[in-house]
């Protein structure tokens, strides 16, 4: 899958492509990471890429011509890719969207705005999708594009060491991931739950299911409102309620 980032700060993006699992994915040729400096497409002799907004107002806007030329070049290199604008005004990114993008496997070209954003005519003619990473405003779209690439790339088969590792991640089936422990068995007086040392796979599965449900209930109850509890989850909740009742008696 091709990831192309159009930016005025290529060092930020190149450094991201040169580290961790993303670099591994590129080395294994599971993904490509391409960074395009929009400034290289400015025909202005000072390589100007911004200008004042018509009608007045504070700040500058990214000019349309260099952006258009950069998008066209990126599309030429990766014709099936979707052009995605990073903007706080876009649809909110989440894990489902990451799955959708990874399964489409078509390639993504990210436009990272700077200043007060980009000229409206680029929005209306060249963008397939507008995405926001949350209801706050950052100084540029680079962090947003890295957030999206990172979460989409890790879902591409083979990129993570163990192909199963994202299947128990938080947000799968609207639940948070269960509590996890590693060595040592005891840390500052706190012990790893016995069941996890028991080797009994069914008991471990049930313990994890309960842990995941409890965490979702305590930390993100809104996720539970999205869908019904399974029969097994209902049993777990009933038992949990019983235990709480026993405690207060």
Q: What is the CA radius of gyration of the chain?
A: 23
Min dist. Cβ of residue 97 to ligand SAM (A)? 13
Q: Segment contacting ligand SAM (CB under 6 A): 46-54, 133-141, 162-170, 234-242?
A: 133-141
- Among 25, 33, 107, 141, contact with ligand SAM (rule: CB under 6 A): 141
What beta strand segments (E) does the chain contain?
Answer: 2-7, 32-37, 50-51, 61-62, 82-92, 108-112, 129-132, 186-187, 190-191
3-state helix, strand, coil in the chain (%, to 5): 45, 15, 35
The pairing of strands 186-187 and 190-191 is antiparallel
Q: Where does residue 149 rank: exposed (0-12), middle (13-18), buried (19+ CB within 10 A)?
A: buried
Contact between 139 and ligand SAM per CB under 6 A? yes
The residues that are catalytic are 88, 116, 154, 169
Min dist. Cβ of residue 225 to ligand SAM (A)? 25
Q: Segment contacting ligand SAM (CB under 6 A): 25-33, 66-74, 139-147, 229-237?
A: 139-147
Site string for ligand SAM, 61-100 (x = CB under 6 A): -------------------------xxxx-----------
Binding site for ligand SAM (CB under 6 A): 86-89, 112-114, 116-117, 132-134, 136-141, 144
């Amino acid at each position: 899958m091709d990831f192309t980032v159009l930016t005025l700060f290529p060092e930020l993006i190149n450094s991201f492509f040169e580290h961790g699992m993303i670099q591994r994915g590129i080395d294994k040729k599971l993904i490509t990471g391409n960074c395009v400096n929009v400034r290289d497409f400015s025909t202005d002799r000072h390589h100007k890429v911004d200008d004042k907004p018509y009608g007045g107002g504070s700040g500058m806007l990214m000019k349309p011509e260099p952006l258009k030329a950069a998008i066209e070049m990126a599309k030429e290199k990766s014709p099936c890719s979707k052009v995605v604008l990073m903007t706080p005004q876009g649809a909110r990114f989440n894990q489902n969207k990451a799955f959708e993008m990874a399964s489409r496997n078509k390639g993504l070209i990210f436009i990272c705005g700077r200043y007060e954003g980009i000229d409206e005519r680029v929005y209306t003619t060249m963008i397939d999708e507008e995405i926001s990473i949350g209801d706050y405003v950052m100084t540029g779209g680079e962090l947003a594009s890295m957030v999206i690439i990172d979460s989409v790339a890790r879902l591409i088969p083979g990129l993570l060491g163990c192909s199963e590792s994202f299947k128990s991640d938080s947000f799968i089936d609207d639940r948070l991931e269960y509590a996890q422990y590693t060595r040592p068995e005891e840390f500052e007086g706190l012990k790893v739950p016995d069941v996890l040392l028991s080797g009994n796979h069914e008991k471990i599965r049930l313990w994890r299911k309960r842990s995941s449900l409890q965490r979702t209930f305590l930390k993100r109850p809104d996720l539970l409102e999205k869908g019904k509890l399974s029969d097994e989850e209902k049993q777990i909740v009933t038992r949990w309620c019983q235990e709480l009742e026993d405690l207060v008696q």
